[in-house]
Amino acid sequence: MNTKSEEDYLKCLYHLQQGKKSVSTNEIANYLSMKPSSVSDMLKKLAEKKCVNYLKYKGSLLTKKGELIALSIIRKHRLWETFLVNKLGFSWSKVHNIAEQLEHVNSEELIDKLDHFLAYPQIDPHGDPIPQKNGTIAELNQKLLSELEDGEKGVITGIKKGTPSLLNFLDQKKIKLGDQIQLISIIEFDQSAEVIIHKKNISLSEKICNNLLIETLND
């Protein structure tokens, strides 16, 4: 069994290592706001547990064992976020910190029952894919709102980078996952977008266009 701190490191390393050959100690330290010396000590401990391949001065990567543990933590986090939003009515801008605590509950039976209770969701309230129990992750057919063609329609399926201010803005505008949206046009001057959503014409900034993930619809 791993401690909460060890699980946080494994999850951090999973996110940082995507598309990389190794992750430096300083990258992990910056991500977790820790001292590099403390990070090195933890990486050595995780290497002893066969969770991390760690070479001093050369960086680290998760082993297969470490990756499966990290995916299990991410799975729990995203299932809890889904539960908090869909069943308890929390705003999607408020569930991350709560899920950060709940993801460390160490009961496989509880998580399996939670998954069943939620009808085996594929994505969390932010549109991120939920890993399956075996560690596999479904590929989602998404593109950014800014990448749509004029007149193209789709369904909002995720947020590329869900900062609190962005999520709060979307809450205020009552924009959520599953909403249908149609791009009218991208304004050349500032790259904002004119769209139709909830049967209303509204304008969305370039920042929002570059963060809203859309699954396009065929007419």
Domains, the chain, in order of start with CATH, read 4-62 (1.10.10.10), 79-134 (1.10.10.10), 143-216 (2.30.30.90)
pLDDT(163) > 80? no
Can you give the pLDDT at residue 15?
Answer: 93
Give pTM, 2 decimals: 0.80
Q: What percent of the chain has pLDDT over 70?
A: 99
Helix intervals (H) in the chain: 4-16, 25-32, 36-48, 64-86, 96-102, 108-117, 164-172, 206-209
The mean pLDDT value of the chain amounts to 91
Judged by average pLDDT, the poorest of 110-119, 159-168, 203-212 is: 159-168
Residues contacting 149, CB < 8 A, separation 6+: 183
Q: What's the CA gap between 114 and 110, in Å, rounded? A: 6
Cβ–Cβ < 8 Å for 204, 134: no
Can you give the pLDDT at residue 147?
Answer: 93
Q: What is the pLDDT of residues 170-201, one digit of tens each?
A: 888 888 888 999 999 999 899 999 999 999 99
